Amino acid sequence: MFKSFEPNKIFAITSKAPKYVLLLFIVVLTIGLTEALVLSPEDYKQSDAVRIMYVHVPAAWISLGIFSSLALFSVGSFVFKNKNFSLIAKSLAPSGFVFNIIALVTGSIWGKPTWGTWWAWDARITSMLILALFYGMYLLAWRIYEDKEQVIKVTSLIAILGVVNVPIIKFSVDWWNTLHQPASINILSTNTAIHASMLIPLGIMTAAFALFSLLIFLMKYNTELIKVKNKGLDRL
């Protein structure tokens, strides 16, 4: 069932792909930055401060998406005893963590001119901080535990506990009264509170961020596979 996930087959692709992904990322990012910083209009209420949205929102979306995928692969590695799944999950974590930090920091920078404060312990912001802690614990667990079986158990547990927080983050703005605004975009419906002139740059920046996370994932995954092969050479 999981033959297509065998490292031998994957490495042939992942070792060649980064240079093309990097090139595509630079092109998409250049277009995205031009749109976000120059061509897109200012908001009638927030003026030019709204441009922070073009880095804050994609970073938050991608950090949530990465954690969900990481949890899926962690559970997969635990249930199916597929070690390659754990390598994929491990390789996803660094970019997810960095995107989470970017979302928190840019959100804080956006908060100052719009809310008058750098930080508020409201439901959305606090739950995003908790996600960053789960990312931190997940990455630390890989460094702390030497035993492979044990590290897979511990990281799977962290990922499962952490993924419970993902719907809490998503619906926190509906369940509680928060300083953070409710979602402006709903992927399940055509109703969106954002005009196309802002939605297009947001889409381009999200694509650029997704390409960057793919690039980091590929490089990290290659590193992990070479580490495995280095251990294999020791045993020869």
Partner 1 sequence: MINEIISMNGYGAYVWLAFLFTLISFITLYFVTKLQLSKEQKRFASKFGSLNIEKARTARSQNIIREILSNTSNI
Q: Give me the 81-120 binding string for partner 1, x by CB under 8 A, dash otherwise.
A: -------------xx--x--xx--xx--xx-xx-------
User: Which of residues 28, 35, 51, 60 is near partner 1 by CB under 8 A?
Assistant: 51
15 near partner 1 (CB under 8 A):
yes
The stretch near partner 1 (CB under 8 A) out of 69-77, 139-147, 164-172, 211-219 is 211-219
132 near partner 1 (CB under 8 A):
no
62 near partner 1 (CB under 8 A):
no
| Residue 171 token pair | 């619906």
Cα within 13 Å of Cα(162), Cβ side: 33
Q: How many Å is the maximal CA-CA distance in the chain?
A: 67
64 near partner 1 (CB under 8 A):
no
234 near partner 1 (CB under 8 A):
yes
Which is nearest to 56 in space by CA: 211, 227, 180, 222? Answer: 180
Length, in residues, of the chain: 236
CA triple 181-183-34, angle to 5 deg: 90
User: Residue 225 Cβ, how far from partner 1 at the closest point, in Å?
Assistant: 7
User: Residue 184 Cβ, how far from partner 1 at the closest point, in Å?
Assistant: 18
- Which CB, 7 or 203, lies closer to partner 1? 7
Reported as type and span, the H/E element at residue 30 is helix 17-34
- CA 214, CA 218: separation in Å to the nearest integer? 6
